Amino acid sequence: MEVKLSASILAADFARLGEQTQEALTAGAHWIHVDVMDGHFVPNITMGPVVVQALRPLADAYGALLDVHLMIEEPERYLDAFARAGADILTVHVEATPHLHRTVHRIKELGKKAGVALNPGTPLTWVEEILPDVDLLLIMTVNPGFSGQKFIPSMMPKIVRARDRLQALGRNIWLEVDGGIHPHTVGDCVRAGANVVVAASALFNAQASITENVRRLRAAIEKALTPA
């Protein structure tokens, strides 16, 4: 199994955003994760399409995907704008839109990969009917809104169940985890079946260089993938 490391710029220094994102990609991150928050669906306000547009050339230079996570109410209103800005994947929350099927298919009409996210308290059954139509399922392992939160251990069985459901469908659907991902938590997530891991404060912090942090995360991922 190949595991993708998605570098969440939520924890980056925005005065050095391009430089830090480039360092993460050079070190071996595969995707750029853009957390879009509106101050309503989650208690924080972050960035919009202009940031996605600014990062598009970097993503192209490194062959990376722009993984855009819409933590916003009524995400269907902004799909066209983020698609034009250059997103590769658009992930919406099942809790944020009453017409999830329509929203997922609109993302596909725009030529993008469609993802659906679940908050920690939302059961997996809420996405049962839409799973055959998505390209990515995101399991939140913290309550969304802020970087640096601790991983919620009770989400591990949910990741395992999600992997079982996706395998039963027989389609190549990414299973992404986001929240509290560090070298000491990422291995368990990978063993549970996640094949995309999102890291923010584990990559962008003052304790070590971005390059060293990517190396540590990738080492932990490789260890988890190595048979005992």
DSSP string, 76-126: GGTHHHHHHHT-SEEEEETTT-S-HHHHHHHHHHTT-EEEEEE-TTS-GGG
Which one of 35, 38, 67, 88 is the catalytic residue? 35
Told to judge if 178 belongs to the known catalytic residues of this protein, a careful annotator would answer yes
38 is catalytic: no
Query: What is the rounded distance in angstroms from the CA atom of residue 52 to the CA atom of residue 57?
Result: 10
The C-alpha atoms of residue 115 and residue 117 are separated, in whole angstroms, by 7
* 67, 88, 135, 178: the active-site residue: 178
Question: Distance between CA 185 and CA 149 in Å, rounded?
Answer: 12
- DSSP line for 14-75: GGGHHHHHHHHHHHT--EEEEEEEBSSSSS-B---HHHHHHHHHHHHHHT-EEEEEEESSSG
* Residue 197: Cβ within 10 Å count: 27
Residues tagged active-site: 35, 178
